[in-house]
Structure 1
Amino acid sequence: MQQLLDVSAGYVGFALEAMAVLVIAVGSIKSFIAGLGAMLFKPSLHDAIREVWLDYARYLIAGLTFQLAADIVSTTVAPSWDDIGRLAAIALTRTFLSYFLERDLADIRDRRQGVSEAKS
């Protein structure tokens, strides 16, 4: 039974890590293309680049969430101090990214409300 759990955790962990890589790769490519387009074609460069970075941060957070899930699965089988430290580092990184992303999104929402109220 333990061997089945070990093998299953290995496959699940691998699948979650593959999902993390895929999400981050797709987000990186999409953000690169959007950033390049913003630099070449957008008159308000600062706002356009900020939107690109916020979108990219969402992909990074999603990728880190999959990575965190993979590490949790791996750690449940035979946790070492290295595994626990890695898990803590990823959780901390994800927490900081989420905090700053939410702060930036709130800032953008406030700016948009200010602009729409000024137009009214």
Structure 2
Amino acid sequence: MKEIAEIVTGHLSSIIELLAALVISVALIKFLYKYIKHIVHPNEGVTNQTIRIHFGSALTVALELLLAADILATAIAPTWDDIGKLAAIAVLRTALNYFLERELKNNESEMRKAKD
């Protein structure tokens, strides 16, 4: 039973990592498309901040997915070394996510103030 759980957890972790890569890839393609469109036609109502906010939001989702994948990867019979690595990764990704979310909220509030 433990072997089946390890196999399923390993595959699920890999699938989640692929999903995170897909989220980043799609967000990057959208970012580049919108940015190039903004450069070519700067007066169409899309700002650099709006483009950055959408891309940043996708990155926060990807960071959360990657953290979930790391948790799954160490869920079955972890060693102390695995737990230490997971803790370091979790702290780094959580800090990145926190500061990214904070910047996104600041940008959104600035955009609302500019509209009012």
* TM-score interval (norm. to shorter): 0.7 to 0.9
Partner of 2:107: 108
From the superposition, tell whether residues 64 and 89 of structure 1 become closer, same or farther in structure 2 (CA, over 3 Å): farther
Gaps of 5+ in 2: none
**Aligned-pair distance for 1:113?**
4.0
> For 1:17 and 1:98, how far apart are their aligned partners in 2?
17
TM-score (norm. length: structure 1): 0.76
TM-score (norm. length: structure 2): 0.78
**Aligned-pair distance for 1:7?**
1.1
**Aligned-pair distance for 1:66?**
1.2
Higher helix share: 1
* Cα deviation code 1:32-75 (max 9, x no counterpart): 11111122222499x71122112111111111111111111110
Q: What are the equivalent positions in structure 2 for 1:1-120 lying under 5 Å apart?
A: 1-43=1-43, 48-80=47-79, 83-117=82-116
> For 1:9 and 1:78, how far apart are their aligned partners in 2?
11
Amino acid at match of 1:111: E
Judge conservation of contact 1:64–1:94 (CA < 8 Å) in 2.
yes
Percent identity between matched residues is 34
Judge conservation of contact 1:13–1:71 (CA < 8 Å) in 2.
yes
In the TM superposition, structure 1's runs of 4+ consecutive aligned residues that sit over 6 Å from their partners are none
From the superposition, tell whether residues 93 and 38 of structure 1 become closer, same or farther in structure 2 (CA, over 3 Å): farther
From the superposition, tell whether residues 90 and 30 of structure 1 become closer, same or farther in structure 2 (CA, over 3 Å): farther
Pairwise CA RMSD: 2.7
